[in-house]
Amino acid sequence: MDFKGSDTITGPRTEDVLPSTATAAVKVVIVGGFGVGKTTMVGAVSEIRPLTTEETMTQASIGVDDNSRIEGKTATTVAMDFGRISISEQLILYLFGTPGQERFWFLWNGLFEGALGAVVLVDTRRLEVSFDVIGRLEERGVPFVVAVNTFPDAPSHPMEALRHALDLPDEVPMVNCDARLRASSRDVLLTLMNYLHALALQRS
Amino acid sequence: MKTPRRERREKLPSPSSPAPDPGSAKGDPERLYVITGGPDGGERAALDLVTMVVACSTPSPTVQPEQAAILRLCRAPLSVAEISAYLRLPFSVVTSLLTDLLATELVESRAPIVRAVLPDRSLLEAVMHGLQRL
Ligand SMILES: Nc1nc2c(ncn2[C@@H]2O[C@H](COP(=O)(O)OP(=O)(O)O)[C@@H](O)[C@H]2O)c(=O)[nH]1
Ligand SMILES: [Mg+2]
Lowest-pLDDT range of A36-45, A60-69, B39-48: A60-69
Look at residue B85 and tell me if it is in a domain: yes
Nearest bound ligand to the CA of residue A151: 1
Closest ligand by atom to A40 CA: 1
**Ligand 1 neighbour A184 (Cβ under 6 A):** no
Domain-located, residue B86: yes
Q: Of B1, B51, B76, which has the smallest distance from its Cβ to A17's Cβ?
A: B76
Residue B57 falls inside a structural domain:
yes
Enclosing H/E stretch for B107: strand B107-110
Q: Would you say residue B30 has pLDDT above 70?
A: no
Q: Determine the structural domain holding residue A165 and report its residue range.
A: 21-203
Classify residue B78: in a domain, yes or no.
Answer: yes
Amino acid sitting at position B42: G
What proportion of chain A, given as a percentage, has pLDDT over 90? 71
User: pLDDT for A156-168, tens place per residue?
Assistant: 889 999 999 999 9
**Residue of B18, B39, B68 lying closest to A6 (CB–CB):** B68
In-domain check, residue A1: no
Domain presence at residue B19 = no
**Residue B97: which domain range?**
29-33+42-113
Interface residue B126 vs chain A (CB under 8 A): yes
Q: Which of B6, B84, B73 is nearest to A77 (CA)?
A: B84
pLDDT on residue A48: 97
Assess if residue B63 is contained within a domain.
yes
Say if A172 falls within a structural domain.
yes
Residue A14 within a domain: no
Q: Do A113 and B114 touch (CB under 8 A)?
A: yes
User: How many structural domains is chain A composed of?
Assistant: 1
On whether residue A5 sits in a domain, the answer given is no
Q: What is the CA radius of gyration of chain A?
A: 18
**The pLDDT of residue B29:** 38
Contact call for A55 and B87, based on CB within 8 A:
no
- Please name which of B56, B42, B46 lies closest in space to residue B91, comparing C-alpha atoms: B46
Residue B81: give its domain's CATH number: 1.10.10
pLDDT tens, position by position, A124-147: 999 999 999 999 999 999 999 999
A31 in ligand 1 pocket by Cβ < 6 Å? no
Count of structural domains, chain B: 1
Residue (of A73, A48, A71, A50) closest to A60 by Cα position:
A73
Residue B123 lies in a domain: no
Give the residue-averaged pLDDT of A35-56.
Answer: 96
B54 SS3 class: strand
Could you give phi then psi for residue B18, rounded to 5 degrees?
-60, 140
What is the domain-level CATH number for residue A180? 3.40.50.300
Note the pTM of the prediction, 2 decimals. Answer: 0.88
Is there a domain that residue A8 lies in? no
**Residue type for A74, please?**
T
The ipTM is 0.90
Q: Which residues of B touch A108 (CB under 8 A)?
A: 49, 91
Q: How far is the centre of ligand 2, averaged over its atoms, from the C-alpha of B132 (Å)?
A: 25
Pocket test for ligand 1, best of A31, A34, A39, A40 (most atoms within 8 A of CB): A40
pLDDT over 70 (residue A62) = no
Closest CA to B95 of B38, B55, B27, B57: B38
pLDDT beyond 80 at A203: yes
pLDDT band at B61 (very low <50, low <70, confident <90, very high): confident
Q: Among A58-62, A70-74, A82-86, B22-26, name the most confident range.
A: A82-86
Q: Which of A20, A107, A165 sits opposite B76 (nearest CB)?
A: A20
Residue A2: band (very low, low, confident or very high) from pLDDT cuts 50, 70, 90: low
- DSSP notation for chain A: -----GGG-----GGGPPPTT--EEEEEEEEESTTSSHHHHHHHH-SS--EEEEEEE-HHHHT---GGGGGG---EEEEEEEEEEE-SSSEEEEEEEEES-GGGGGGSTTTTTSSSEEEEEE-GGGGGGGHHHHHHHHHHT--EEEEEE--TTSPP--HHHHHHHHT--TTS-EEEE-TT-HHHHHHHHHHHHHHHHHHHHHH-
Please name the helix (run of DSSP H) or strand (run of DSSP E) that holds residue B109, with its range, or none.
Answer: strand B107-110
Answer yes or no: is the C-beta of A97 below 6 A from any ligand 1 atom.
yes
Q: What is the mean predicted confidence (pLDDT) over A106-132?
A: 91
Q: What are phi and psi of A86, to 5 degrees?
A: -80, 120
Q: Which residues pair with A146 in a beta bridge?
A: A120, A174
What does the mean pLDDT of chain A come to?
89
In a domain, B21, yes or no: no
